[in-house]
Amino acid sequence: MDRIRPILWVIVVFFLLFSPAKTEDQSVIQALVVFMDKLGPGSMQTTPGWGWNTSSDPCTSKWVGVTCDKNNVSVKKIVLEKLNLTGNLDFESVCKVSNLLVLSVSFNNITGNLQQEVANCKRLTHLYLSGNRFSGGLPDSITDLPNVKRIVVSNNGFTGQLPDFSRLTSLLTFFAQNNQFTGPVPRFNYRQLEGFSVANNDLSGPIPDDTGRFDANSFVGNPQLCGKELAVQCPVKPSKKKSKLRDVLLYSGYAVLAGIVVVLIAIIACKKTKKRPGVKIRSHVKNGSDSGRSSGSKNSRTRSEFSTTSVESGGVSSSMVVLSSPVVNGLKFEDLLRAPAELIGRGKHGSLYKVRPDNGVPVVVKRIKDWKISRDEFKKRLQKIVEVKHPNVLPVLAYYSSKQEKLLVYEFQQNGSLFRLLHGSQNGQIFGWGSRLSLASSIAGALTFMHHELQADSIPHGNFKSTNILFNNNMEPCLSEYGLMSTYNHDPNPDHDPTNVQTTNTFESDVHAFGVVLLELLTGKPVQDNGSGLAKWVTSVVKEEWTVEVFDKALIVEGASEERMVVLLQVALKCMNNSTPPAMAEVAAMISSLKEEDERSMTSSDP
């Protein structure tokens, strides 16, 4: 007996060391077994290695359709496709798998409704339910999935109205064709979607205006849908034929008052004209909107007008300065003001006009209204910026300043902006990894140079974004509108209103904005706010170790180095760290080093 006891201990130890351990919690395993039982696997349970029982572990025993993380600790994916499952989908059970990212039960015969408990799968990124016999409506709780990227519910029997998906900032794909959905097409972040279809349902009403990127194939088979992408056009809403008497009298009073004001202004203008000649610019607005003072009549041709006076004979007044440049060689400011102008953009800081003077090159006039900065301060700022030249900073050709408004003139860049290249039509242009990295390096260098040269006067860019990065004729990037919207951190003039002094636009804000542009370059996604939403999404994906999902598909297809893209992504996130942001010089050095490494790699790989 004494001899047998040591042998028994060896057997026990061997069993403890080498028997398969259960890595998932027992309650999770039990929930998964319940989940499978409700799916009705039938004869599939006799499949060798089927698993799905409480006496084994989903990771170490490798249950059919289950994929775990690289350490075989927790379940990440459940893919049960084409298994002739005939039961119901139990989200209450399966969502107890806390790290579940992918759930697919496509191409089975699953019936019943979707449960509200789908929202409990907080980390779920991919949900595939197509090719089953689901019925009822999609629960509103499906829009509470914070990380979901792909939702595919096509080829089922779903009914009712689709929920509002506009809250899902990470959603890239939504396919719901071949169902029986009714009601209007819901709201999505359409500009972000890569794939979308609600074809062959019973939807009605107009398709959303911002779905122009999806053609009719995404909406066909809905006879009551209308829109510019479809054969059925939406009816124009009839205007009211009659107004209430009170409104008529009210607007008539406004019209009379406006007429009196116009007459007074005309009398004053005539008196000034007798003393000095005047010039004006009239802008025929292409889209029919009025960016300046309206004529007051809806039927009259809308135009934008801003004028200047005190033009000296053969030159420019003290309030108007034309800077030396071959672009404006021989051009007088009054010629510029008389030329027709086309409204090409409007933002919260002002409007942009494309102007083509007679026998001259096209230029852009930036009109800024109601900016509380004195004429002398504005002049000093522009003179300082003009003195500090950089090849990647678009120079100001001319400027004008008055109490009411300020005008700046730039050379028109026909190749458009970075925003248009990333999110609009590329017109056959290839904008690959090398070009994006080179652009980031050039712009970082320009910002660093300007920060260093202008730091004594505290003038950051103040409005840095992808729409203000333009391309010249050689497709080289250049910064537009440098220093226009920024404000001093202190006000040296004691007569100024202290409430107008702001401190939000600083060198740190430029660094933060540069990080947002880097995220645009890497993800190919537009920024809807200050970039916080995009940064939050990127951070959440990186934490889940799905970093590759962040990058623009075009870069992945190109075969760009994932390692170097990750490095640039880390630089972007550092820039957006509001507590300890790096200096622009440090950012430029990191990107320059990355660019050199990329170029060495390309050179060494050449045959």
Instruction: Name the 3-class secondary structure at 327.
Output: helix
What gap in Å lies between CA 343 and CA 285, rounded to an integer? Answer: 5
> How far is residue 270's CA from residue 229's CA, in Å, rounded to a whole number?
52
Which residue is listed with tokens 């191409």? 107
Kindly state the tokens that stand for 331. 């051009």
Q: What is the DSSP letter of 223?
A: T
SS3 per residue for 439-469:
HHHHHHHHHHHHHHHHHHHCCCCCCCCHHHE
CA distance 77 to 71: 14
Helix, coil or strand: residue 112: strand
Give the residue numbers of the binding site.
366
Q: What's the sign of the alpha-carbon dihedral 12, 17, 19, 20?
A: positive
DSSP 370: S
Q: Within a 10 A sphere around the Cβ of 572, how many other Cβ atoms?
A: 24
Classify residue 261 by its DSSP letter.
H
Start-end of H helices in 363-432: 375-387, 418-423
Q: How many residues does the chain have?
A: 607
Residue 518 φ then ψ, to 5°: -60, -40
- In the numeric block, the tokens 């998964």 are attached to 32
Quick one: three-class SS letters along 66-84? EEECCCCCCEEEEECCCCC
Pick from 71, 72, 63: nearest CA to 45: 63
Structure-token match 């169902």, residue found:
179
Number of neighbouring beta carbons within 10 Å of residue 236: 6
End-to-end Cα separation, the chain, in angstroms: 75
Scan for tokens 């775990």, then name that residue: 68
Are the C-beta atoms of residues 219 and 190 closer than 8 Å to each other? no
Non-local (6+) Cβ contacts of 387 within 8 A are none
CA atoms of 602 and 174, how far apart (whole Å): 38
Q: Is 573 exposed, middle or buried (0-12, 13-18, 19+ CB in 10 A)?
A: middle
CA angle at residue 464 from 462 to 470, to 5 degrees? 135
Distances in Å between the Cα of 587 and the Cα atoms of 8, 75, 274, 575 are 65, 39, 58, 8
Beta strands in 11-148 (DSSP E): 66-68, 75-79, 102-104, 111-112, 126-128, 133-136
Annotated binding site for ATP: 366
